[in-house]
């Protein structure tokens, strides 16, 4: 069942993973995404390689050496998974095979027409990854340590997470924090400053206008009489 899942992930025909990968590759190529298409092809090769690396090391390789403090050979405690763990894996394996065979017999029509060479390319890349894993970890005709030494810069970059954390830290400290400080200064001294000045002016004007109202009736009568007098003077004023 692990082999079925591995074949599906590797993109081998008659397994569900093959059709999903082929559709993604076809969509990238038809969409004119040449660089992403090349990256996806490389990813398909590496997927087949590292998945079958697990197959050759875990299932077809010799037992691991015994650890310190444990007697007997290293593989003495190896055993099959219990049913509660194996049953879900069997279900997934059956689905991977069933869907793969069903798509092979009755493949749904896609929204685009991929080129004819896409299927041989997808199969060839997957088979090349499997063969390469077999040569390195099955036959051991190619030294995996030597490959790692020659590609050590990729390993170092992978260990350093391709320096993405450093890039994010640089962007965060130099750009995001700098912009946030500028925005905070503008908000504190310009936006809040203008609002504080307007609110202070409003409070001051309110305090001054409030003095007009004394709460005494005679003051309101005097005000009305003064207004009527001014109105009469304005109406009698020669034009």
Q: CA 193, CA 16: separation in Å to the nearest integer?
A: 63
Cα atoms found within 13 Å of the Cα of residue 47, Cβ hemisphere only: 21
How confident is the model at residue 5, as a pLDDT? 47
How confident is the model at residue 34, as a pLDDT? 86
CA angle 160, 164, 169 (to 5 degrees): 110
Q: From 28, 25, 29, select the one nearest 11 (Cα to Cα).
A: 25
How confident is the model at residue 189, as a pLDDT? 85
Q: CA 134, CA 142: separation in Å to the nearest integer?
A: 9
How confident is the model at residue 105, as a pLDDT? 65
Summarised one tens digit per residue, pLDDT across range 107-155 is 666 666 677 787 788 888 888 888 888 888 877 777 767 777 777 777 7
DSSP-assigned states of every residue in 155-189: HHHHHTGGGHHHHHHHIIIIIIHHHHHHHHHHIII
Ranges of residues in the chain with a pLDDT under 50 are 1-2, 4-5, 8, 10, 67-75
How confident is the model at residue 25, as a pLDDT? 78
DSSP-assigned states of every residue in 209-231: HHTT--S-HHHHHHHHHHHHHHH
CB atoms within 10 A of CB 207: 9
**Helix-then-strand count for the chain, H and E:** 11, 0
DSSP-assigned states of every residue in 83-125: HHHHHHHHHHHHHHHHHHHHHHHSPPP-SS---TTHHHHHHHH
Q: From 121, 122, 91, 106, select the one nearest 17 (Cα to Cα).
A: 122
How confident is the model at residue 104, as a pLDDT? 65
User: Is residue 164 a contact partner of residue 45, using CB atoms and an 8 Å limit?
Assistant: no
Q: Which residues contact 157 (CB under 8 A, 6 or more apart)?
A: 163
Q: CA 221, CA 44: separation in Å to the nearest integer?
A: 94
User: Is residue 22 a contact partner of residue 122, using CB atoms and an 8 Å limit?
Assistant: yes
């Amino acid at each position: 069942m692990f082999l079925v899942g591995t074949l599906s992930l590797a993109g081998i025909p008659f397994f569900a993973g093959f059709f999903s990968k082929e559709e993604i590759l076809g969509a990238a190529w038809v969409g004119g995404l040449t660089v992403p298409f090349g990256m996806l092809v490389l990813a398909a090769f590496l997927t087949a390689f590292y998945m079958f690396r697990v197959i050759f090391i875990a299932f077809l390789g010799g037992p691991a050496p015994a650890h310190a403090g444990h007697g007997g050979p290293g593989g003495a405690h190896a055993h099959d998974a219990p049913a509660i763990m194996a049953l879900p894996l069997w279900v997934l394996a059956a689905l991977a095979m069933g869907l793969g065979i069903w798509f092979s017999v009755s493949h749904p029509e896609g929204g685009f027409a991929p080129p004819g060479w896409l299927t041989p390319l997808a199969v060839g890349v997957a088979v090349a990854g499997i063969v390469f894993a077999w040569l390195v970890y099955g036959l051991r005709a190619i030294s995996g340590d030597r490959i790692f030494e020659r590609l050590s810069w990729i390993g170092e970059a992978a260990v350093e997470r391709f320096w993405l954390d450093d890039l994010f830290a640089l962007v965060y400290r130099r750009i995001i924090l700098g912009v946030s400080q500028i925005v905070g200064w503008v908000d504190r001294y310009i936006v809040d400053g203008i609002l504080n000045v307007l609110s202070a002016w409003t409070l001051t004007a309110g305090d001054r206008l409030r003095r007009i109202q004394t709460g005494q009736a005679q003051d309101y009568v005097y005000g009305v009489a003064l207004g009527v007098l001014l109105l009469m003077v304005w109406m009698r004023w020669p034009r």
